[in-house]
Amino acid sequence: MLAMNNTENTRGSLPHGRPLQTDFNDGRDYPRLGSFSFRRGTLTDNQEARWEEHWPHYGKVLADEVIDLPEWFGRDAETIVEIGSGTGTSTAAMAPLEADTNIIAVELYRPGLAKLLGAVVRDELTNIRMVRGDGVEVLQRMFQPNSLQGVRIFFPDPWPKARHNKRRIIQSGTLHLIAQRLKPGGILHIATDHADYAEWIDELVTVEPELEYLGWPEDQSDIPILTDRQITTKFEAKGLDKEHTIREYLWRKK
């Protein structure tokens, strides 16, 4: 079990030491984090004050706790989980267009979550919540099977060195886990601007039998969740500046 005291959870702090990693032991590949390290980053005084006041309502930390979604959001609605939300620019931009959908942003980097929290409070985005933790472990520990309408992974870290490829989040095991958490008809949406990572994903598009690969169809009218990301993220803009090709992938849970 993952130890987490109430003070750590309230303040959004991660447990000391190396986080536990689930031993799936099912013959599939899952991302391995190796030695855990975090980018340094401090909050401004205003961000710190806002965090202290609002994180207990809007945020949770990775724990062995299945989230009660209606209780947390105060309503019954479809839920989308965004893995690796970064600073939450696109998350916040899309939220008003998905007012009837619950959005949960999952991110390790506290300053990124603090920026998203600022947008949530400033713009009164009532349909966003946040979880601080590794995306695979959050999916495994905190969501019930067949509970999500969508999962999004936008511009994940490409881990370009071959010896680090095993750390990429898109693996056969991750796709299987996502398929388990999606409701029938639920959508997985991935975007990358890294050519080698796109080739990696291309090799995996049909590896999970519970996911029907849709490619990137011109007609998206029958896809029940928003697929237009509405805004160019920081990482996407850097890729476009380098004339990278943006690849988008969609799957539907069978």
Q: Residue 161 annotated as binding?
A: yes
134 marked among binding-site residues: yes
208 labelled ligand-binding: no
68 is in an annotated binding site: no
- 234 in a labelled binding site: yes
Question: What string of DSSP letters covers the chain?
Answer: -----HHHHHHTPPPSSSPP-----SSS------S---------HHHHHHHHHHHHHHEEE--S----HHHHHTS---EEEEE--TT-HHHHHHGGGGTTSEEEEEES-HHHHHHHHHHHHHTT-TTEEEEES-HHHHHHHHS-TT-EEEEEEES-----SGGGGGG-S-SHHHHHHHHHHEEEEEEEEEEE--HHHHHHHHTTTTS-TTEEEEE--S--TT-SS-----S--HHHHHHHHTTPPPEEEEEEE-
Say whether 233 counts as a known binding-site residue. Answer: yes
**Residue 157 marked ligand-binding:** yes
Which residues are tagged catalytic?
Answer: 157
Which residues belong to the annotated binding site for S-adenosyl-L-methionine?
82, 107, 134, 157
Which residues belong to the annotated binding site?
82, 107, 134, 157, 161, 193, 233-236
Which residues belong to the annotated binding site for substrate?
161, 193, 233-236
